Structure 1
Amino acid sequence: MSLTLWPVTGVREVREGDDLVALLLGRLDEPLRDGDVVVVTSKVVSKALGLVTTGDREAVITRETVRLVARRGATRIVRNRAGLTMAAAGVDASNTTPGTVLTLPRDPDAVAYDLWTSLRRRAGVEVAVVLSDTAGRAWRRGQTDIAIGSAGLKVVNSLSGTQDAYGNALHVTEPAVADEIAGAAELVAGKTSHTPFVVVRGLPRHWVGDHWATARTGARDLLRPDDEDLFGLGARDAVEAVLEQDEPAGFPPAESGAAERVQELADADPGVVAVDLDGAVFRVTPLRDDATALIAAGRVAERLRVGAAAHRLKVSVEVRTAVATGR
Structure 2
Amino acid sequence: MSALHLNAPSGIGEITDGTDLAELALDHCELVSGDVLAITSKVVSKAEGRRGTGPREVSLAAETDRIVARRGPTQIVRNRLGLTMAAAGIDASNVAAGEHLLLPLDPDGTARRIRARIFTATGANVAVVITDTAGRAWRTGQTDIAIGAAGLLVQEEFAGREDAYGNPLAVTAPAVADELAGAAELASGKLGGRPFVVIRGRADLVLPAGEDGTGAGILNRPDGEDLFGLGARAAVLAALVGRDAVAFGAPAPVDDLVLALTELGGGSVETLSEQVRWTPAEGRMPSAAALAALGHAYAWQGVVDAAEGGTVLFRPLVP
TM class, shorter-length: 0.7 to 0.9
Q: Distance in 2 between matches of 1:84 and 1:73?
A: 21
Q: Distance in 2 between matches of 1:177 and 1:262?
A: 37
Amino acid paired to 2:251: A
The Cα shift of 1:285 comes to 11
Q: Which segments of 5 or more consecutive residues in structure 1 lack a partner in the other structure?
A: 271-276, 287-291
Q: Which moved more, 1:227-236 or 1:240-249?
A: 240-249
Could you say if the C-alpha distance between residues 249 and 170 of structure 1 is closer, same or farther in structure 2, counting changes exceeding 3 Å? closer
SS of structure 1 residue aligned to 2:199: strand
By how many angstroms is 1:105 displaced?
Answer: 2.2
Q: Secondary structure at the match of 1:226?
A: coil
- Tell me which amino acid in the other structure corresponds to 2:132: D
Larger radius of gyration, structure 1 or 2?
1
In structure 2, what is the equivalent of residue 14 of structure 1? 15
Q: Which runs of 5+ in 2 are unaligned?
A: 311-319
C-alpha deviation, 1:122, in angstroms = 1.3
**Given that residues 301 and 317 in structure 1 are in contact (C-alpha distance below 8 angstroms), is that contact kept between their aligned partners in structure 2?**
no
Match status 1:102 vs 2:89: no
Q: How does 1:51-70 map to 2 (within 5 A)?
A: 51-70=50-69
1:311 counterpart letter in structure 2:
Y
Which of 232, 237, 242 is equivalent to 1:235?
A: 232
Question: Percent identical across equivalent pairs?
Answer: 48
CA distance in 2, matches of 1:248, 1:225: 13
Structure 2 matches for 1:49-128, cutoff 5 A?
49-128=48-127
CA 1:261–1:170 in 2, change beyond 3 Å: closer, same or farther? closer
| Cα contact 2:157–2:174 (8 A) shared by 1 | yes
Shift in alpha-carbon separation, 1:242–1:21, aligned structure 2, 3 A = same
2:303 and 2:309 map into 1 onto residues whose CA distance is: 17
TM norm structure 2: 0.85
CA contact (8 A) 2:9 2:28 kept: yes
CA distance in 1, matches of 2:263, 2:108: 43
Give how far 1:240 is off: 1.5
Assess if the C-alpha contact under 8 Å between 1:262 and 1:308 holds in 2: no
Q: Residues of 2 paired with 1:259 and 1:181: CA distance?
A: 40
**Cα 1:10–1:177, aligned 2, differ >3 Å: closer, same or farther?**
same
Q: How does 1:1-327 map to 2 (within 5 A)?
A: 1-28=2-29, 31-203=30-202, 205-210=203-208, 214=211, 216-247=213-244, 249=246, 252-255=249-252, 257=254, 267=265, 299-313=286-300, 315=301
After the TM superposition, which segments of 4 or more aligned residues of structure 1 sit over 6 Å from their partners? 258-262, 282-286
* 1:266 Cα deviation from its structure 2 partner: 5.3
Matched AA of 1:109: D
Q: What one-letter code is carried by the residue in structure 1 that aligns with 2:163?
A: D
CA-atom RMSD in angstroms? 3.2
- The whole-number CA distance in structure 1 between the counterparts of 2:263 and 2:70 is 27
Paired with 2:263 and 2:178, the residues of 1 have a C-alpha distance of 40
**1:76 and 1:138 mapped to 2: Cα distance?**
14
**Stretch of structure 1 that moved more, 227-236 or 47-56:** 227-236
The 3 A distance-change label for structure 1 pair 166 and 249 is closer
Q: Is the 8 A contact 2:126 2:206 kept in 1?
A: yes
Match of 2:317 in 1: none
CA distance in 1, matches of 2:106, 2:82: 9
**Distance in 2 between the 1:142 and 1:238 partners?**
24
SS in 2 for 1:134: strand
